[in-house]
Each structure stands twice: as structure tokens, then as C-alpha cells.
Amino acid sequence: DEAIAVVSGLRWRLRRAELGGLVVRRWQQDADAPTPNNAPTPDRWTTRVLPMDIWATVEVTDPQGSHHVTLEGELAWIRGETTRLQVPEAWDSPADVRSLGGIARIRTDHDDLRLSTRLDILYASGDNDPRDSVVRNFAFHTDYNAGMLLFEHVMPLLTARTADRVADPALLAVTPEGVRHTIQSGAFTNAMALNPVVRWRPISTLDIRLGWLAARGAGDVVDVYHSALYGGYNRTYGNGPPDDRGLGHELDLAIAWTARLPGQLTLTPGIEAAVLRPGSALSALDLGTPALIRGGVDFRW
């Protein structure tokens, strides 16, 4: 693949606030790609987009005090065109890219109590018609984690499974074009959510975090397999109606302890756990109550 990007940015710093913006012009050409079902597409897919991003941080309270309240926000939108969307409506001309995403955050820090709270309000646009010539899905970078289980594990597994089923020639004679692009890779996408998190450090070496995530589809939550069986009409997972957009509620817990070793070495073992109550968009699958427990050790020098 080949890609060229030109990035320009502006940042304005005040005593209690910081504002900024980015404008990016990106041109990308993929490596040689197969042309599905004899579609009249070019040998190499191209994408030309103009992402724009604005952000702000405002310190509400006195920075010199022991109690801090901070407001943060970021909004990004992408405009452009691409030939990567392999649907008949986009064969004669590139598909339009029109996506929007953003986050608003309220953060408090209590230095005396060693307590911090954070409330994230998230939005990533979805696409109610994935078969037309407009790409509306927005995806956060996978470095941003909204919870531990729903978007990082459950949705990638579900989307990969439905894409695999719809590509089976024993089920459908002609595989829908571009189905591989429907597989989620752990990013927050096609969703709006609330994500409050509380962090407590009772001692300097112990870090405890408790979070809750409530998520709902920003657009239809589409199961490409059942949608293909129903003639292209949107169906959600397990063949549910498309107006079922609830993704679920997730509870997260993380505990880490840091041991300081000689020679500026640190050893930090930790454990994380999450439990998910699936929403209406996933209820037909009878997933039960998915849960996650994982541990790890971080060694730094």
C-alpha cells in the first residue's frame, strides 16, 4: 500500500484553556486488489479524504487548588471519496465518505482523597444503508478503549462470524461485495455511549479503577448474514428487527499494584475483569452473560 498525508494544525493556549484543530489531506492507494464478481473497479483501490478535527480543554477550577474540574471535548469529521467500497452503486464513480465522531468528557480530581472521576459521552456515526454509495461509519482509533469487553471482544467476534457465514458459497451463490470491511477490529464504531470511570489510589502504589459502559447503536446494528438472506433488508444479530439498537451494559474493574525495585526498576502486576449484559440488538443470540478476567505484569526500567 502507498499513502501520502499532509497535516496542518493550530493550538491556542490560555491560562485555563487550550484549543486546537487539525486538518489532514490523505491520499491512499492499496496494493493490487481482486475485483469481486467481475465488477468494473480499478486494479488498485484509492481513497482521498479530508479529515478535520477540533478539540478543547477547559480547567473550570483554580489549577493551584486540591480539587480540579476539567471539561474536554473533541469532534472529528471526514469527507472524501473512495473506490474501496465494492458495491454496484459505487462501480461507476467513487463512493462518498461522510462520517462523524466525537467525545465530551467531564473529569474531576481530588488530590487529598486520591480520587478521580471521569464521564465520557461518545458518538461514532453508523450507516443505515451499507449498500449505497455513501460511507457513513466512523471508527475511533483502537488505542481508545471504551470498556474492556463489548467493543474489544464481543463485537469483533460477532462481525467476523457473520462475515464468514455470508461468504460461504453453500449458503449464498454470490458473496456480497466488500463484506470484509464490516468486520470490527476492536474500535468504538457505529455507537453512542456513556462511560463513567472512578479511579482511587488509597496508597501511592495501588491503583483501583471501576467503570460502567452503556452503549447503543448510532445506526442500525446490521448482521450482514441475515440481511443478505432477507434480500438486503437490515436485520440485526440473530435475525432481530433493525430498530433493536441496544448493545448492552458493561461493568469493568481493574486493580494494579506497583513495586519499586532497585535501580529505578518497577514491577506492576494487575488484574482486570468485565461483565456484559447484552442489549436488545444482541438478545436473539442468547449470549448469556459474557465475562472477562485477565491478568498481566508490567516491567519497566
Taking only the tens place, the pLDDT of each residue in 132-191 is: 888 899 999 989 999 999 999 999 999 999 888 888 777 766 666 667 778 888 999 999
**Three-class DSSP category at 114:** coil
**Three-class DSSP category at 118:** strand
Tally of domains within the chain = 1
> Binning pLDDT at 50, 70 and 90, where does residue 87 land?
low
Mean pLDDT across the stretch 207-228?
93
Q: How large a percentage of the chain has pLDDT more than 70?
A: 91
Domain carrying residue 125: 2-300
**C-alpha to C-alpha distances, 272 to 58, 157, 198, nearest whole angstrom:** 31, 20, 14
Taking only the tens place, the pLDDT of each residue in 231-251 is: 778 889 888 888 889 999 999
pLDDT (0 to 100) of residue 247? 96
Give the CA angle between residues 153, 238, 279 to the nearest 5°: 55
- Model's pTM, two decimal places? 0.88
CATH of the domain at 240: 2.40.160.100
Q: N- to C-terminal Cα distance for the chain?
A: 36
Taking only the tens place, the pLDDT of each residue in 27-41 is: 998 776 555 555 555
Comparing CA positions, the residue from 92, 88, 84, 176 lying closest to residue 135 is: 84
Taking only the tens place, the pLDDT of each residue in 259-297 is: 988 888 999 999 999 999 999 999 888 899 999 999 999
